[in-house]
Structure 1
């Protein structure tokens, strides 16, 4: 892990790094980047590298027209699939305006503020993710089809599971980039796969999820396949989610780590805060019209509730003990912007702690049924208004399909 500019410059020189990608995420969750040469890296750390904000989704009304990418030193990774001679490195970046201040539309900065708010209350948030995706065949022109790569089922093995080697390549590539997968397997749907990841700080988890989608898509393409993160790519097959695991630590101890049938009051309040605010933050967990089709399908939770090891509930308390104790939020999918999804989940949970909320018997209240419904609830939400800059909120809702109507 590198933190000092001079250490990074030395690493670049000694490891034959010839191209450096400065990456960031637009409001839709799409990774963008610009490549610079090694000689420009020191200037990038000091002043940032300018880009045309008007050409990036959600940044069009940035003050001054240009924004600046400033690399985060600790996010350095080498791209293992690029040539070993003239290597390519990548940094995730903060986004600043012409005055040097953090741009209020920077979704990564919003997640950092959620982590800071947790620290002010005495907590560190640890997060993990379970990422599901489908592998589809390509046609003769190299375009994606809706034909699954295999017809295997849950946890099948080769030869039924044809994605086994693809997942292996994905996991090894991620390890080379400093990301530790915990497990991988074939999921219930034909051609459906899942990769789970170890817990880390929330900002690191979001950075990793951006990388994971990139590596999965790149690896699939190298194998003549198409990776789909659509929430419901096949109408008669299970949908794909992005289950988010959250736990709270204080004094180095996981407060979800209690007796088998107990939680400490703060852990219960954190869960209650997410349950009570879920309607207001769904727009940031479920970003596409197909997200709401998944929530109504058999594979997605469509009402607000929680249960121990209940996979039909919005929040599941897995049968895990010790440091792995956590809650699992099951409604998000991989079309979300992970920075916004994690930030708003954390803000919702912290709101529950501040109010001393308790999980209670809730009516079988439906989640928002459409993007427009979710957007309307976000606009009216005091939680969202309190924690999300107005520019970021307005730009996000203006660009997400089905959300750009007043409600």
Structure 2
């Protein structure tokens, strides 16, 4: 009995980092990665994680050192979580020069070969405080948005027995590059669903699809959207963390394809006025049960670990209508989740529309921008729409979103909706603008980044999606972005005021 207690005390004494490295089955996964390294001829590995803005950061290490890095991790300054960016007072955002270094531990299940250079692989990491920190050494780094999402989702699953599965619609624009390397307009004309314009970009999107399949993305459909050079290429929905990893991977793939074709892969939401912006609608559902299946995409041997190619399938979709109650309206859990999102939509907007430029999308009238906190069936004038039985589309999110922050925030909104049994009211079938002219009262979304940040500051529920250091870091970074915009003279100022007087 004494020996058991001693072992229990020793287990309790482990830091988060030590427990993570010693987790059951991880040693086997580390060995599987070594086997893949040898099988595929991998010479170099990118160890990467995601900053507060969704940027991919990290280090590269020769593959000979895999076992050492798997055990000890890589170290970077804490400020890498804020892109080592300085605010307008020349202070590094989040962490000063005296701060220690984080430890990033690779997640072996995310190991995958890069199809454009098969000598190189990538692996996502989970981040921790330094082992030598005087306080909370080796604890989870709360500025790690990816790690936060994993833990928040695990807590949600434990409390509700429900898994968030979602898909996204990653619109972006392919721009021509001028002699100076700067954008020189879209590759194609802004003709929505036009096959000829789609065909003009065929070499580009086929290369994207080729690379995407090789990195575990089950590409399902695509089209030319209604802005210059704008494509939407979709992949299958899945567990929230894997969907976020795949969107991050998709962005890396597009950047590489752009280099190969001497183009610019533009994820900026609104580079052109008068045409649609690039959104990233999230299609959401909560599930009980199901099984994990591996998609091989025709490879004789997977170019990475099985986790990269794994999808959740089957189970009970709790957002489906209850047949004896309604043919199309979501079931009780789905309605409560819609209620939670509508309740917190102003704060969520600070995450889904995270840049100054995001609000050009909301101000450019007549282009179906989701400006109001309401819901309906196939109603694109609402912030949420039931796009098909069993899921609803969250529309107040654009192409610049940090998907890990967005998924975590939506989970907190869902949690609040379920716990408080929030009622979203009846769906709006009318054009919402016409309904408002007829007297309907609807809450409007924030119409600037500054206003959205104020709504986020007031919302304790959504701030729970940004635990510990994450919310202060996000607020500092985004408030500085807003203030830099306010303190900048632009071409608009010159054109508007230069000849105003006398």
TM-score greater than 0.5 by the shorter chain: yes
Q: Give the CA deviation at 1:364.
A: 2.1
Q: Give the CA deviation at 1:294.
A: 0.5
Q: Deviations over 1:33-85 (max 9, x none)?
A: 21011222112221211112235525525995101111111111110011x4x
Q: Deviations over 1:167-215 (max 9, x none)?
A: 1211111001111121111012221111112111101111111111111
Q: 1:358 to 1:34 in 2, by over 3 A?
A: same
| Counterpart secondary structure, 2:269 | coil
Match of 2:128 among 73, 96, 101: 96
* Equivalent position of 2:377 in the other structure: 308
| Counterpart secondary structure, 1:274 | helix
Q: Deviations over 1:288-318 (max 9, x none)?
A: 1111110232242111111111122111111
Q: Is the 8 A contact 1:158 1:164 kept in 2?
A: no
Q: Is the 8 A contact 2:102 2:129 kept in 1?
A: yes
CA distance in 2, matches of 1:148, 1:116: 42
* Equivalent position of 1:129 in the other structure: 168
Q: Give the CA deviation at 1:343.
A: 0.8
CA distance in 2, matches of 1:160, 1:76: 32
CA distance in 1, matches of 2:50, 2:462: 20
| Counterpart secondary structure, 1:399 | helix
1:310-325 matches, cutoff 5 A: 310-318=379-387, 320-321=388-389, 325=390
CA distance in 2, matches of 1:353, 1:63: 43
| Counterpart secondary structure, 2:143 | coil
Is 1:364 the counterpart of 2:442? The answer is yes
Q: Give the CA deviation at 1:339.
A: 0.5
1:50-89 matches, cutoff 5 A: 50-57=75-82, 60=95, 64-82=99-117, 84=118, 87-89=119-121
Match of 2:35 among 2, 10, 24: 10
CA distance in 2, matches of 1:41, 1:330: 41
Is 1:255 the counterpart of 2:293? The answer is no
* Equivalent position of 2:394 in the other structure: 329
What is the TM-score with the length of structure 1 in the denominator? Answer: 0.92
Q: Give the CA deviation at 1:118.
A: 2.1
5+ unaligned residues in a row in structure 2: which ranges?
Answer: 1-25, 83-92, 131-136, 290-314, 427-439, 486-502
Is 1:107 the counterpart of 2:172? The answer is no
Match of 1:264 among 313, 328, 331: 331
Q: Is the 8 A contact 1:185 1:194 kept in 2?
A: yes
Which deviates more from structure 2 when the two are superposed, residues 186-195 or residues 256-265? 256-265
Match of 2:475 among 390, 397, 400: 397
CA distance in 2, matches of 1:239, 1:45: 41
CA distance in 2, matches of 1:14, 1:313: 51
| Counterpart secondary structure, 2:64 | helix
| Counterpart secondary structure, 2:142 | coil
Q: Is the 8 A contact 1:151 1:160 kept in 2?
A: no
* Equivalent position of 2:292 in the other structure: none
RMSD of Structure 2 on Structure 1 (CA): 2.0
Q: Is the 8 A contact 1:375 1:403 kept in 2?
A: no
How many residues matched? Answer: 396
Q: Is the 8 A contact 1:371 1:402 kept in 2?
A: yes
* Equivalent position of 2:253 in the other structure: 215
Q: Give the CA deviation at 1:152.
A: 4.9
Match of 2:277 among 223, 228, 239: 239
Q: Is the 8 A contact 2:281 2:396 kept in 1?
A: yes
Q: Is the 8 A contact 1:24 1:93 kept in 2?
A: yes
Match of 1:382 among 452, 460, 468: 460
Q: Give the CA deviation at 1:160.
A: 6.6
1:272-311 matches, cutoff 5 A: 272-297=339-364, 298-311=367-380
* Equivalent position of 1:117 in the other structure: 155
Q: 1:171 to 1:62 in 2, by over 3 A?
A: farther
Q: Deviations over 1:204-241 (max 9, x none)?
A: 11111111111112212211211211111111111110
Q: Is the 8 A contact 2:405 2:465 kept in 1?
A: no
CA distance in 2, matches of 1:7, 1:47: 18
Q: Is the 8 A contact 2:50 2:81 kept in 1?
A: no
Q: Deviations over 1:349-386 (max 9, x none)?
A: 12101111111268321101111111111112121344
Q: 1:359 to 1:144 in 2, by over 3 A?
A: same
CA distance in 2, matches of 1:246, 1:223: 34
CA distance in 2, matches of 1:336, 1:160: 25
